[in-house]
Amino acid sequence: MPEAGNSLIEATADHLSQYAPFDQMARGHLTWMAEKLSLGYFAKDELILSPEESGKPKFFIIKQGVVQGEQGIGQSTENGAWLELHEGECFPLGALLANRPVTGTYRASSDVFCYELAAEDFLQLTRLSSEFYDFCTRRIANLLEQSKHLIQAGYSKASAEQQSMNSILSAIIRREPVTCSPESTIKQALQRMQDQGVGAMVAVDNQSPKGVLTLHDVLNRVALTQVDLEKPVIDIMSTKLTTLPPHAPAHEAALAMAKEGIRHVLVTDNDRLVGVVSEKDLFTLQRVGLSRISNAIRQASTLEVLKQCAGDIQQLARNMLAQGIAAEQLTQIITTLNDLLTTRIIELELKDCPARDIEFCWLALGSEGRFEQTLNTDQDNGIIFALKEDEDPAAMREIFLPFAKRVNLALAECGFPLCNGEVMASNPKWCLSLQEWKNTFDTWIYHGAPMDILHSTIFFDFRPLYGASHLGNALREWLQTAAPKNTRFLHQLAVNALRNRPPLGMVRDFVTGDDHTIDLKMNGITPFVDAARIFSLAVGGSQTNTLLRLREIAAPLNMNDRDVDAYCDAFLFIQLLRLRLHHAQNEKGEKLSNRVDPDTLNNLDRRILKEAFRQARKLQTKLSLDYQA
């Protein structure tokens, strides 16, 4: 029979192994920790830790009960403003790692039992267990990895049958590239393609690719034109090459094919050709036809075909989500395909339209402008047009508005609802000349009333989508100079942003509405989007994507890289949760929404969502401090 002490230690280790990060630790390290633990009791409302306590805090793991954390808005800490910790959760990691007192208070909100570990033993454990150290220093990233593993396990059958779009290109290259010299004749190249059974021939000079010929090119450039077959093959090859390095993930090749309308991507290492990845390779890899959809969009001649393509985009996104592609890549893919769909609608509507003879740029706003579209999105867009000397902008607007109305209605037919706030190019307020757009932004920045500024925020996420992109770029350059100059404007943006707090509760994990749900877009995504936008405007940033903005502002604002990584991880988790929610709603035939009942989430997802909201609170704390809002 085992000794009673050993039995208790093993039972403690077994209990802790149900929770992160202890479920990832080696059994020997977990037993070592269990041997060092003591058990503490705290009555309801009793203070567990506070900034006034001297000495190093202990490491606490909640065995039973609920601990409430409170943080003053004027302080900056890893925990944010309010947090609620439950069984299996631990604290205070930041204080222990930094060898300092806690900066917030921890109080028992019910009768609480905690495992307690001395600070010296905590630090020793971080040296013994790499898994424990990784969790303590990369808490939310570590939890996200565990959640990803659970998601992939849920789709185990699909995962077993298909490789991931995160596979690197060198892993999916099927054969050595078939090449020829640029001086080879067309006939020699075609014969070699037939002998080798390949759909692409690459001309190389000293292993460096100079041109590519595909079977599609053979039809258009050889058969139909009846070109002299003794001419050098380089004369009919495509010399504008799309290349990626061997370590690039497959989804980058898929995106390149979709954007460029091509079927092959060359894989090069230091300008040396190492392989060719085809659309067929990616189709086999994922059982999806990303470039097939993009090519169908480009070749579509009617709205009915485009409506089918819009449905294909939705199905493709659902398939990729089920196969475990990351939220950042998936939202980029969705937005890229939606961009192509919008572009094709514009092209079709411009035929025989007076607007085609005027220089203009179609602007993407909101989530599309940020490359952050999900399966549930309406349309936000505008037009910026060039104005010649003595031309009347009102007269130009009359030309553009009927065209813009047709585009907005066509997009609605393809599944992008008309904007309830009428932020669309068919609204005369958002169909403006370059100078009028500058005047509009100038009014918001220097003379805007609080409500005007509140409703203007999505316009600052604009990017050129179609047409004369230099007009959109000129407006962005003007804005990069104008916005940082007005601190009152930035302060007002911060005040508005801080009205929307992440729904962390003082009594329950989350603050929910009457329907017991949380709006993952408004209360989850928007705090990150708003803060990143304000900081980007303050430093004259050029990015519109939230993650790129956060990474761009890190250096100018002296933000800790670890903090920025945590903000990005938190944002991506909430995006992933939205995508999974939309996928589940689609599967059930329900109307898509961003509202989720937190009680329907598993324990790990609830824990990560709490951590994500805490990161949003922390980012808002910085916003509050910087702008005294």
Closest CA to 223 of 236, 238, 204: 236
pLDDT tens figures, 437-488: 999 999 999 887 877 787 889 999 999 999 999 999 999 999 999 999 888 8
Residue 285: per-residue pLDDT: 59
Closest CA to 55 of 93, 91, 95: 95
pLDDT top residue among 60 and 611? 60
State how far the Cα of 373 lies from the Cα of 335, in Å rounded to an integer: 6
Strands 208-214 and 243-244: unpaired
Residue 454: per-residue pLDDT: 79
pLDDT tens figures, 67-122: 887 754 333 333 333 567 888 888 888 788 878 888 778 999 889 999 999 999 99
pLDDT tens figures, 28-47: 999 999 999 999 999 999 99
| pLDDT at 525 > cutoff 90 | yes
Q: Are 316 and 288 in contact (CB under 8 A)?
A: yes
Task: Count CB-CB contacts under 10 A for residue 339.
Answer: 22
Looking at every residue in the chain, the average pLDDT score rounds to: 86
Closest CA to 53 of 96, 105, 127: 105
Listed in order, strand segments (DSSP E) in 65-221 are 67-70, 82-85, 90-91, 105-108, 112-117, 179-180, 200-205, 208-214
State how far the Cα of 166 lies from the Cα of 248, in Å rounded to an integer: 9
Q: pLDDT band for position 507 (50/70/90)?
A: very low
| Distance from chain centroid for Cα 391 | 42
Residue 83: per-residue pLDDT: 65
Written in H, E and C, the secondary structure of 251-288 is HHHHHHHHHHCCCEEEEEECCEEEEEEEHHHHHHHHCC
Omega before 92 within 30 of 0, i.e. cis: yes
| pLDDT at 66 > cutoff 60 | yes
Extents of the domains making up the chain: 4-137, 169-286
Please provide residue 107's backbone torsions phi and psi, each rounded to the nearest 5 degrees. -135, 145
State how far the Cα of 29 lies from the Cα of 204, in Å rounded to an integer: 56
The three-state secondary structure class of 1 is: coil
Q: Give the chain's radius of gyration (CA, Å).
A: 28
Q: pLDDT band for position 614 (50/70/90)?
A: confident
Please provide residue 589's backbone torsions phi and psi, each rounded to the nearest 5 degrees. 75, 20
Tell me the CA distances in angstroms from 316 to 168, 221, 281, 288, 583, one per residue in order: 20, 32, 16, 6, 11
State how far the Cα of 570 lies from the Cα of 615, in Å rounded to an integer: 7
| pLDDT at 6 > cutoff 90 | no
Tokens found for residue 388: 């010649």
Q: pLDDT band for position 505 (50/70/90)?
A: low
State how far the Cα of 485 lies from the Cα of 477, in Å rounded to an integer: 14
Q: CATH second-level architecture of 169-286?
A: Roll (3.10)
Strand partners, 358: none
Q: pLDDT band for position 222 (50/70/90)?
A: confident
Question: DSSP readout, 166-179?
Answer: TSBHHHH--SPPPE
Amino acid at 414: C
State how far the Cα of 552 lies from the Cα of 7, in Å rounded to an integer: 53
Residue 145: per-residue pLDDT: 60
Strand partners, 277: 265
pLDDT tens figures, 408-426: 999 999 999 999 889 999 9
Where does 4-137 sit in CATH, by number?
A: 2.60.120.10
Omega before 556 within 30 of 0, i.e. cis: no
Q: Are 452 and 444 in contact (CB under 8 A)?
A: yes
Strand partners, 223: none
| Distance from chain centroid for Cα 556 | 22
Residue with tokens 């990832």: 24
pLDDT tens figures, 197-206: 888 999 999 9
Strands 200-205 and 179-180: parallel
pLDDT tens figures, 242-272: 999 999 988 899 889 988 888 899 999 999 9
The three-state secondary structure class of 365 is: coil
Highest average pLDDT, of 134-148, 213-227, 337-351, comes from 337-351
Closest CA to 582 of 313, 401, 302, 208: 313
Residue 103: per-residue pLDDT: 76
Listed in order, strand segments (DSSP E) in 299-416 are 360-364, 381-385
Q: pLDDT band for position 294 (50/70/90)?
A: confident
| pLDDT at 221 > cutoff 70 | yes
State how far the Cα of 280 lies from the Cα of 174, in Å rounded to an integer: 11
Query: No. of H helices and E strands in the chain?
Result: 25, 20
Tell me the CA distances in angstroms from 623 to 238, 302, 456, 533, 618, one per residue in order: 50, 48, 19, 11, 9
pLDDT top residue among 147 and 293? 293
Residues across the chain: 629
Q: pLDDT band for position 158 (50/70/90)?
A: very low
Q: What share of the chain is helix, strand, coil (3-state, %, to 5)?
A: 55, 15, 30
Q: pLDDT band for position 436 (50/70/90)?
A: very high
> Counting beta carbons within 10 angstroms of the beta carbon of residue 309, is it exposed (0 to 12), middle (13 to 18) or buried (19 or more)?
buried
Least confident residue range of 80-94, 307-321, 491-505:
80-94
State how far the Cα of 116 lies from the Cα of 240, in Å rounded to an integer: 64
